[in-house]
Amino acid sequence: MGTSEGFMKYIRKDNPAIPEEERILNFREFHESLPGFDRELQAARCMDCGVPFCQSGLLIAGMTSGCPLHNLIPEMNDLLCQGNWKKAWERLSVTHSFPEFTGRVCPALCEKACTCGLHDQPVATRENELAVTEYAFSHGFAKEPAPDVRTGKKVAVAGSGPAGLAAAQLLNRRGHLVTVYERKDRPGGLLRYGIPNMKLDKRIIDRRIQLMEEAGVRFICNTDVGKDISADELLNEYDRVILACGASSPRDINVPGREAGGIRFAVDFLSEVTKRLLDSNFTAIPYDLAEGKDVVVIGGGDTGNDCVGTALRLKAASVTQLEMMPKAPDERTKDNPWPQWPRISKTDYGQEEAAAVFGKDPRIYQTTVKEFHKDEKGMLKEITLISLESQTDPESGRRKMVPVEGSERKIPAGLVLIAAGFTGCQAYIAEAFGAELDARTNVLTPEGGFKTSVPGVFTAGDMHRGQSLVVWAITEGRAAARAVDEDLMGYSNL
């Protein structure tokens, strides 16, 4: 390493954030960058430990420990520590397709498994990778190589989210002719319309799409595979097809009053906000969606947090976030040791902003909706909440959350956003190809593989593994590209 004692000499320093009261006035990214020298010192904290769990991507106790992309993290940090930013970028690019995305939205599995984090703050690897990536783009050596020779093979990719983009990138580099189909009006999938602009500026996606187009990847938008173009058409025109359409069937809340107006799925809400911002070039903020309304977000995950932050920017009168489960502990418990993924409580940007605006954390734990109430016009006006407690199911022996009798209470609500996760892929796409689904309504493949039950058709990303992280989608896309390449050519050097 550039220095052997950096983890003892230097404390962790994160990118500074614009104050909450200021950043909620717009939809711009709100983290600023550290000076280059300070960033190099952060890289110097990397210990070059004997077993770098940060890059392992191992499954420990049912959870991923370390980066599933197996980024060469100690090596990249060493190069950055020495001030060799270009070489650090080249080392990162060996394993990673889009560090500009994960540097903004990944929960940093690498840091949760960092050896330095066992007794101190972990190395700021995610921000180190992002700094290296933005340096590469600003200095002109973040490029998308076009192949010298074309194979003559054609591959269609359905879906332009992180899995589809990663697969398209590698297959194009290999020399295959790749066409990506996207049902929305702009490419990016979840990256574009599922993640708010203040978390991932859409110009970052446009920048990458432009590089891929210049390298030969073709994007066709406003085309819904299985509806606007049939499976037979794709199978006849292309040598192979990859289904990477995401897990886009949202889980509903089926309680009395669900038909009331003003109840929306979270991703539909986030998508509309982003589309209206993009269509107006950010000159028309869609305040009408939430301004002056009491907003209730059902779900405590990343999407729920994004809804909280978005509602605040749209001038909601209040924001409440419901979580069915108890609050996680603030520190690791004995049955959750390092390097397992830490099952601890975290406060994300949306919750921080809500606390700054309203004076308290918006989350209410162990609570769900018992009933929605509407006014004479059929619009939502309030909801009945009910508390939950953990009990053991006598038949299965498993713990489950059950309602507490007599704990009902009402709160006002003019907009409810359901962010309760997803139940799998939208079946019409798989049905169009005749691809089998598994018990979780994901596209079925052999264990560890990407081939569907239909010859010539592969799958990747959330459509394959279920709702997951962007870094896992990129990992899946890269692995699926290799599987397709090997199927086409008899071997693969991807």
Confidence of residue 98 (pLDDT cuts 50, 70, 90): very high
Structure tokens, 367: 């609570």
Nearest CA to 427 among 446, 417, 440, 411?
Answer: 440
Structure tokens, 215: 């390298």
Q: What is the DSSP letter of 379?
A: B
The pTM of this model reads 0.96
Structure tokens, 134: 């933005």
Nearest CA to 362 among 280, 433, 305?
Answer: 305
Number of Cβ within 10 Å of residue 132's Cβ equals 27
Please give the average per-residue pLDDT across 425-446, as a whole number: 95
Please give the average per-residue pLDDT across 238-253, as a whole number: 96
Domains of the chain listed by start with CATH number = 6-138 (1.10.1060.10), 154-248+423-489 (3.50.50.60), 263-418 (3.50.50.60)
Confidence of residue 202 (pLDDT cuts 50, 70, 90): very high
Percent of the chain exceeding pLDDT 70 equals 100
331-382 pLDDT, tens per residue? 999 999 999 999 999 999 999 999 999 999 999 999 999 999 999 999 999 9
Calpha distance 429→352 (Å, rounded):
39
10-68 pLDDT, tens per residue? 999 999 999 999 999 999 999 999 999 999 999 999 987 889 999 999 999 999 999 99
- pLDDT given at position 50: 87
The pLDDT mean for the chain works out to 96
Is there a contact between 54 and 101 (Cβ–Cβ < 8 Å)? no
Calpha distance 375→76 (Å, rounded):
59
Nearest CA to 29 among 273, 185, 196?
Answer: 196
Is there a contact between 133 and 92 (Cβ–Cβ < 8 Å)? yes
Give me Rg for the CA atoms of the chain: 23
Which residues of 177-284 form beta strands (DSSP E)? 177-181, 218-220, 240-243, 263-265
Calpha distance 179→238 (Å, rounded):
9
Confidence of residue 2 (pLDDT cuts 50, 70, 90): low
- Given a cut of 90, whether residue 294 has pLDDT beyond it is yes
Q: What is the DSSP letter of 239?
A: S
Give φ, ψ of 224 to 5 degrees. -95, 110
Is there a contact between 35 and 76 (Cβ–Cβ < 8 Å)? no
Calpha distance 351→264 (Å, rounded):
20
Number of Cβ within 10 Å of residue 108's Cβ equals 20
- Given a cut of 90, whether residue 395 has pLDDT beyond it is no
